[in-house]
Chains A and B, each alone.
Chain A
Amino acid sequence: MPDSSIAVHGDAPNPALLHHFATEEQQRDSSTLGMWIFLATEVMFFGGLFCAYLIYRLKYFGDFGAASKSIDAALGGTNTAVLICSSLTVVLAIWAAQTARRGLLIVMLILTMLFGCVFLGIKAKEYKDKFDEHHVPGPSFSFDHEEIPGHPGEYANPVHAEIFFALYFVMTGLHALHMIIGLGLFTWLLWGAWKGRFTPEYHTPLEIGGLYWHFVDIIWIYLFPLLYLIDRH
């Protein structure tokens, strides 16, 4: 290997193949495996919150039902649909890169980011409603005379409802933080796509970014029914 001091083969057919990998396939598989291991740690990260949620929901089911009912489920449902559409545009972006369609790739990346911004906008509206209603845990929290669903005349305990809202804000807030990081990631991918960095042979950053985006989508797929739809009938 005459030029082992530099990372990229100058005379190799594909300059994207780094010198410590035997084949492109091995290089791609290593990146993908690393990303899946990172996602495993993310599952455990959110898992602790889901576990806390599960325990308190079993303990204070009625209060959680009343608190959940005060959130706008239509906004949450719309957000679920928005995220699902953004996941579709992500796979279409990767497909565009695989079939060397640079224009389509850029359009799909922009669409993904637009859907991401719409999601965060709707989330902001939801948070604003909660602030207006004094449903944010803290000194100004109030949740008095809210009926427990299915038990007319019985009112939810504000202390227990506050636990629900604490979990709601931490879980959706952490999810929103992941969305913001995802938007940053996709800005970088868009820059790369604009520069023409991604080819059918090399588009690993798109696949890795896509895995992250889909993971954040999956977290929301669970958050939506668990937080918004506890006791709606």
Chain B
Amino acid sequence: MSEQSTSEHSTSEHSKSPLPTYFAVWVSLLIGTALTYYAAKLDLGPFNAAVALIIATTKALLVVLFFMHLRHAHEKLLKLVVISTIFFLLILLALSMADFATRLKT
């Protein structure tokens, strides 16, 4: 138990520097923000909301995978937590929408 080596996992995990990835993600997030802002000024009819949500979800994915290090997570439980979070959120939204959409308009 006291034979634990301290340098074992901290250095071997990522041999190359993660900095280029971090800066690339940062630039993509800024570009995404500019895209949302200008896409909202175009008249795309009902697709405006879809475009905004697709860009927002892409940005959220970039943050989760690279900044929150989910991509390199070796713990499978972690991925289970994230997937079930999305699943429960979708249950909340989908079932509420099912109720809303099937009501008689008064």
Chain A residues engaging chain B, CB cutoff 8 angstroms: 1, 9, 11-14, 17, 22-25, 29, 32-33, 36-37, 39-40, 43-44, 47-48, 50-51, 54-55, 58, 73, 77, 80-81, 84-85, 87-88, 90-92, 95, 98, 200-201, 207, 210-211, 214-215, 217-218, 221-222, 224-226, 229, 231-233
Whole-angstrom distance between the alpha carbons of A44 and B42 in the complex? Answer: 32
- For the complex, what is the distance from the CA of A221 to the CA of B60, rounded to whole Å? 7
Q: Is the CB of A33 within 8 A of B36?
A: no
29 A-B residue pairs with CB within 8 Å: A12-B2, A14-B4, A22-B1, A24-B4, A29-B75, A29-B78, A32-B73, A33-B75, A40-B85, A44-B85, A44-B88, A47-B92, A50-B93, A51-B92, A54-B93, A55-B97, A84-B26, A87-B67, A88-B23, A91-B22, A91-B66, A91-B67, A92-B22, A200-B10, A214-B63, A214-B64, A221-B56, A225-B52, A229-B52
A95 adjacent to B19 (CB under 8 Å)? yes
Nearest first, the 10 closest Cβ-Cβ pairs linking A and B are A229-B40, A225-B52, A40-B85, A233-B43, A232-B40, A88-B26, A84-B29, A36-B81, A80-B33, A218-B60
1/0 per position for B63-100, CB-CB distance to A under 8 A?
Answer: 11011110001110110011011001100110011001
* Given A25-B9, A43-B89, A225-B55: A73 touches B81 (CB 8 Å cut-off): no
* Contact among A13, A50, A226 for B52, CB-based, below 8 A: A226
A14-B4, A32-B75, A225-B52 in contact; A218/B30 too (CB < 8 A)? no
Residues of A within 8 A of B1 (CB): 1, 22
CB-CB < 8 A to B16: which residues of A?
Answer: none
Which A residues are CB-close (under 8 A) to B89?
A: 43-44, 47
A232 to B85 alpha-carbon distance, docked (Å): 32
Residues of A contacting B15 in the complex (Cβ-Cβ under 8 angstroms): none
B residues in contact with A9, CB < 8 Å? 2
Which residue of chain B has its CB nearest to the CB of A17?
A: B4
Contact A12 B4 (CB under 8 A): yes
Q: Which of A23, A54, A80 has the most CB of B within 10 A?
A: A80
Distance from A78 Cβ to chain B, minimum over Cβ atoms (Å) = 9
Q: Among B22, B64, B67, which residue has the most Cβ atoms of chain A within 10 A? A: B67
Q: Are A58 and B40 in contact (CB under 8 A)?
A: no
Contact with A along B26-61 (1 / 0, CB 8 A): 100110011011001111000010001101100110
In whole angstroms, how far apart are the Cα atoms of A81 and B34 in the complex?
Answer: 9
- Does B102 sit within 8 A of A, measured CB to CB? no
Question: Is A58 a contact of B37 with CB atoms below 8 Å?
Answer: no
